[in-house]
Amino acid sequence: MNLKFHTYIALAIIGLGISTQSCNKSFTDLTPEGSTTEANYWKSETDAIYAANGLYEHFSDNNMFGRGLFWFVNASDDMVTGRTDAGSAAVRNFTADGTESRINSMYKKFYQIIQRANTILTKVPSMEIGEEIKNRVLGEAYFMRGYAYFYLAQYYGDHRAGIPIVTEENMEELFFERPAHVQENLAQAQADLLQAVELLPLLTTYSAADLGRAHKDAAYAYLAKTNLQWARYDESKWAEVVKYCDMVTNSGSGRALIDTDKPEVDFESVFYIENNYSSEYIFSVVSNRTRGSILPAVLFENTGYGLYNGWGYFHPTVELYNSFEDGDPRRAATILEFGDTYTLFGTERKYYSANSQTGFQFNKYMHPFRFPASEHLNPNGDYPTSDLNIPLVRYADILLMKAEALIQQGMNGDAEINKVRDRAGLDPISGASMVDLKKERRSEFAGEYTDRHSDLVRWGDAEATYAKPATGRQHSNRNDPESAYELIEVWPARAFNPSIHHVWPIPPQDLSNAKIPQNEGW
């Protein structure tokens, strides 16, 4: 792989606009207020901190955790695209070639994160700065490099070929080969995350201005997620999943579900703005009214009833709706259906949609829309961010990853599954099987970056699941919340080839630049 790195990180820093921020700003505020050069950089703690800030720049990237990576999640049976869009349809139908604008930038952006991490790991160790800041910045760099390799491995690598490994030791080389197996990438991710564990503090030690940075629990969580993927190739990794999940639980940071014994509101409240840094959110996309993830508005009604610029993508399917147990409050907290009462911009109303392909809308991220638009939403509807952080790993995921790993080893995962069920007010189960585990993950994480499509692929369930069409409700009057409906097919059955479609195509431009082979079959 041919990766040409900037000789001077200052160039990347200037490009990120983090060269001279005011010290009283949040670390995610990347507004430029000056310039710098290589000659006067890498001198102070402030320089090191600003370099670390650049590792999070992708949080504000539409093509990353705004909606870019959600095109991959959208391949699942939980949702359909929602609007006519040839590129996203090609992704969902597994006919994409990687040139599609929806998916042709994520691969290189993860390598940009790796590039920035490598430069920090090259420059910061020799800086004469305080050990606390030095360790944290290096920990952030190791974390973000491991995090990037985790996602790259999940999306693009398999038993036939991994993706190029670039570290501070070989970053000056011009060409990098694809490893023989993705396990090499997972091993690299694990090594980086273990380094991060040693260097990063607990979240509980951060001031308000630093909330959202990588921390020890986040590193443990991604170690668990890395080994969850690794277990597809090496069953011994299930024990590692349990180990790292327990590390999160026992870290001393007080990780727990939000559970006040009020199931009608507890799960819903996980996605409230005031819970952006709750005991449940382990790592998330930091957002505010001007920067961050646009996902909530992407899921909101197209044109937003003339009240705000919703984008109207990703509509829940009848199959998702029907997958919830009777009496599970997570369904209403996750999905709006015609006639549901909800609050929109301070006014109570009943849900309807002239635009939804399925008769449903995701409800999970609607909290910012309950208030007057000026309170929590970006006034620029073309970049509709909000104050709501978007979770990447929640404590519920820690519990259910541990449960799955225990079940896969022939042990009992009931305690962990039942904690999640108890929060939802559901009866406990005994002798939980993988069928139970799969159902629980679907109910808990629908519409999140936890990624049901990836789950179905690693379980070997994708081919059979996608051989069935997706259905929705077609209402007789789509502007009447009380109108009758009939069930219709909204997306035909799809041909998923598990020997090809378990990974995604690497964008052809990156292949050409790097002179590496494409994933077989794409």
Instruction: Answer yes or no: is pLDDT of 489 > 70.
Output: yes
If you search the block for the tokens 């991220």, which residue do you land on?
A: 365
The set of residues, in sequence order, having a beta carbon less than 8 Å from that of 501 and lying 6+ positions away, is: 94, 457, 462, 521
pLDDT on residue 302? 96
Domains of the chain, CATH where assigned: 43-200+498-521 (1.25.40.390)
Q: Render pLDDT for 348-369 as a digit per residue (tens, 0 to 9).
A: 999 999 999 999 999 999 999 9
Whether the CB-CB separation of 44 and 129 falls below 8 Å is answered with yes
Q: What is the pLDDT of residue 39?
A: 67
Percent of the chain's residues with pLDDT above 70: 93
| Residue pLDDT, tens place only, 45-73 | 999 999 999 999 999 999 999 999 999 99
283-326 pLDDT, tens per residue?
A: 999 999 999 999 999 999 999 999 999 999 999 999 999 999 99
- C-beta neighbour count of 172 within 10 angstroms: 11
Residue 208: HSE in the Cβ half-sphere, 13 Å Cα cutoff? 2
Mean pLDDT, the chain, rounded, equals 92
Predicted pLDDT at 10: 35
pLDDT in tens, 228-276: 999 999 999 999 999 999 999 999 999 999 999 999 999 999 999 999 9
| Beta-sheet pairing, 347-350 with 341-344 | antiparallel
pLDDT computed for residue 200 by the predictor: 98
3-state secondary structure 36-74: CCHHHCCCCHHHHHHHHHHHHHHHHCHHHHHCCCHHHHC
Residue 514: the pLDDT is 87
SS3 letters across 338-392: CCCEEEECCEEEECCCCCCCCCEEECCCCHHHHCCHHHHECCCCCCCCECCCEEE
Q: Are 165 and 181 in contact (CB under 8 A)?
A: no
Whole-model pTM: value is 0.93
346: its two tokens:
């301070």
Q: Is the pLDDT reported for residue 136 higher than 50?
A: yes
